């Protein structure tokens, strides 16, 4: 195999051709063999150095993205393995139990199977949502919506879980709010924010969903809790799934799942913005704003 023909087989380093042959066919052939760039003589050294610098920077970025994707994939696989292991374990328990309390034990085991199947399905759904949002394949609907009713329904839907955790779930929602939104996606955003608040608020704590509109018609929504709070050094990374994979605080970040990255994409796709404020030990407030129209 000639050296040029081995470029495809060894892409450890980017390759640039510098040659006196400026025919289009030779340039095409060089790029097809795997060269990153093709420079013909006579050339100017400062330009070549600048191209080399840019190409090396691009290659470094590509390698970093590849590594983040690898870590992210490993994180997802790890998170899926846990509920699948529980599902298998309790399914085997239900099959093998022939004792006097078999019926009761099977009911309990099957409920655990259902709960963990739901966890696995939620993770898969979030991965698909994230992938489609990143690719711009999800187009938000724009439906005139009773925003007050939407917010109150979200509170109602989470009330049972909040009570089971002995957490107060309150609302401070203005009457007669109207907005043009995708109701399903906004409901998904709010469910993610309240779900995280429930996860990190201890028994006896309080969560509040507030909604209002300013004089210009911008919708303002806040989910506040009296939970454990978030360390300042990781606040800025909460909305990025790639940072979740690479961060040394991964266990803390991972606990928030992919939901916050999805929330950010949904809100920004509607032209809004989302932010977070937190005091460790005192609680956290997630806020998002949606422009009118």
11, with CB counted inside 10 A (0-12, 13-18, 19+), is exposed
Q: Are 177 and 148 in contact (CB under 8 A)?
A: yes
CA angle 90, 92, 98 (to 5 degrees): 100
What dihedral angle (degrees, nearest 10) is formed by the CA atoms of 134, 220, 232, 195? -70
pLDDT tens per residue across span 207-225: 999 999 999 999 999 999 9
User: Left (φ > 0), alpha (ψ -120 to 50) or beta: where does 176 sit?
Assistant: left
pTM recorded for the entire structure: 0.60
What dihedral angle (degrees, nearest 10) is formed by the CA atoms of 52, 53, 59, 63? 150
- CA distance to 31, 55, 208, per residue, from 24 (Å): 11, 22, 66
pLDDT tens per residue across span 151-195: 999 999 999 889 999 999 999 999 999 999 999 889 989 988 998
- CA distance to 111, 123, 161, 202, 217, per residue, from 114 (Å): 5, 14, 16, 25, 43
- From first to last of its 293 residues, the chain has per-residue pLDDT tens of 355 455 554 556 667 767 666 666 766 766 666 666 667 677 777 877 887 787 777 777 777 767 666 666 666 666 677 777 877 787 887 777 777 777 777 788 888 788 778 777 766 766 666 666 666 666 778 899 999 999 999 999 999 889 999 999 999 999 999 999 999 889 989 988 998 899 889 999 999 999 999 999 999 999 999 998 888 888 877 887 655 433 333 344 445 457 788 888 889 888 999 999 998 888 999 999 999 87
Give the distance from CA 135 to its chain's centroid: 13
Q: Give the residue ranges of DSSP H helices in 136-247.
A: 147-164, 183-200, 232-235, 241-246
- CA distance to 39, 43, 82, 102, 149, per residue, from 93 (Å): 68, 73, 17, 10, 44
Q: Are 288 and 279 in contact (CB under 8 A)?
A: no
- CA distance to 5, 22, 138, 265, per residue, from 26 (Å): 13, 7, 42, 44
Residue at token pair 């360390």: 231
- CA distance to 104, 106, 112, 125, per residue, from 99 (Å): 10, 11, 19, 38
């Amino acid at each position: 195999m000639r050296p040029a023909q081995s470029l495809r087989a060894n892409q450890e380093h980017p390759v640039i051709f510098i040659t006196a042959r400026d025919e289009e066919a030779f340039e095409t052939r060089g790029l097809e063999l795997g060269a990153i760039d093709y420079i013909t003589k006579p050339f100017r050294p400062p330009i070549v150095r600048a191209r080399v610098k840019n190409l090396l920077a691009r290659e470094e970025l590509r390698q970093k993205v590849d590594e983040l994707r690898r870590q992210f994939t490993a994180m997802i696989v790890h998170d899926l393995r846990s509920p699948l292991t529980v599902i298998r374990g309790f399914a085997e328990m239900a099959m093998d139990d022939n004792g006097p309390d078999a019926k009761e034990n099977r009911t309990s085991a099957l409920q655990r199977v259902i709960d963990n199947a739901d966890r696995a399905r939620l993770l898969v759904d979030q991965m698909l949502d994230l992938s489609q949002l990143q690719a711009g394949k999800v187009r938000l609907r724009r439906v005139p919506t009773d925003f007050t009713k939407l917010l109150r329904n979200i509170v109602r839907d989470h009330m049972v879980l909040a009570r089971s955790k002995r957490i107060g779930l309150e609302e401070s929602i203005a009457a007669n709010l109207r907005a043009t939104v995708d109701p399903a996606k906004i409901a998904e955003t709010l469910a993610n924010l309240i779900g995280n608040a429930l996860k990190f608020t201890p028994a006896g704590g309080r969560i509040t969903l507030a909604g209002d509109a300013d004089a210009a018609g911008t919708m303002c929504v806040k989910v506040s809790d009296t939970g454990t709070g978030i360390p300042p050094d990781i606040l800025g990374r909460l909305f990025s799934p790639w940072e979740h994979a690479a961060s040394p605080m991964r266990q803390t970040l991972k606990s928030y799942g992919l939901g916050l990255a999805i929330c950010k994409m949904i809100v920004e796709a509607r032209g809004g913005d989302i932010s977070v404020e937190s005091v460790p030990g005192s609680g956290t407030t997630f806020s998002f704003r949606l422009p009118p129209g």
